[in-house]
């Protein structure tokens, strides 16, 4: 396996040395930063929001959101111990202040939360989830009435085409609909090598 293949293989659940390298790439690659900042802008975060990020990786997006959510709280869940360590170090001050709370667990094993969330975000990891519809249903139960979930994805597989991005958005929307979300919206941002899609669903009663 080549060096590139070793690193790429880590993105699903980074472990060990190569997982550390994958986390560094996630935190510093310009396209990742641009994609995540775009997703945050569409979430329309409010200072008092309660937010959950699934698959927080090295914690860069958590950090950016905590700069906006001054009076609320941001939870994060990730199954990678390497990412948990990197994100904890990056968000140490906010965690000490109680503004950020991180959990080491897969999304299939959601912890107990003390209150419903206003926003839930998952960036470039929904395609790794097992039992997608079932997990989305359980996440909808964690949202307040009118709360939203956003699934953000930029395909990165070799030979990817713009059509792959479009199809991913449509497929993600169908999962949200099956899980009972309403008012589903798809946004697309032109990037390289292909667009990023933002798929949003609302927990409307």
User: What is the average pLDDT across 157-167?
Assistant: 93
Domain of residue 96: give its range.
Answer: 30-202
Confidence at 25, pLDDT banded by 50, 70, 90: low
State the Cα–Cα distance between residues 179 and 118, nearest whole angstrom: 17
State the Cα–Cα distance between residues 154 and 44, nearest whole angstrom: 20
Count of domains forming the chain: 1
Domain assignment present for 15: no
State the Cα–Cα distance between residues 85 and 73, nearest whole angstrom: 19
Phi and psi dihedrals of 192, rounded to 5?
-115, 140
Domain assignment present for 107: yes
Domain assignment present for 195: yes
CA dist list (Å): 41 to 28, 34, 61, 188:
19, 11, 11, 13
Give the sign of the dihedral formed by CA 79, CA 196, CA 39, CA 199.
negative
**Residue 49 belongs to domain with CATH number:** 3.40.50.150
pLDDT tens for residues 147-161?
999 999 999 888 999
């Amino acid at each position: 396996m080549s060096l590139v293949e070793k690193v790429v293989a880590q993105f699903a659940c980074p472990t060990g040395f190569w997982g550390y390298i994958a986390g560094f790439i996630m935190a510093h690659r310009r396209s990742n930063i641009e994609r995540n900042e775009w997703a945050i802008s569409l979430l329309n975060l409010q200072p008092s929001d309660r937010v959950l990020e699934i698959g927080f990786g090295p914690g860069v997006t958590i950090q950016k959101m905590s700069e906006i959510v001054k009076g609320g709280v941001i939870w994060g869940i990730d199954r990678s111990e390497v990412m948990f360590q990197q994100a904890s170090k990056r968000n140490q001050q906010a965690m000490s202040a109680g503004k950020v709370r991180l959990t080491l667990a897969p999304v299939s094993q959601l912890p107990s939360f003390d209150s419903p969330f206003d926003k839930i975000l998952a960036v470039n990891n929904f395609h790794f989830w097992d039992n997608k519809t079932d997990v989305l249903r359980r996440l909808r139960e964690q949202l307040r009435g009118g709360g939203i979930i956003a699934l953000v994805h930029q395909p990165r597989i070799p030979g990817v085409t713009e059509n792959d991005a479009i199809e991913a958005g449509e497929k993600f929307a169908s999962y949200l609909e099956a899980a009972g979300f309403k008012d589903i919206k798809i946004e697309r941002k032109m990037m390289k090598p292909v667009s990023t899609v933002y798929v949003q669903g609302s927990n409307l009663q």
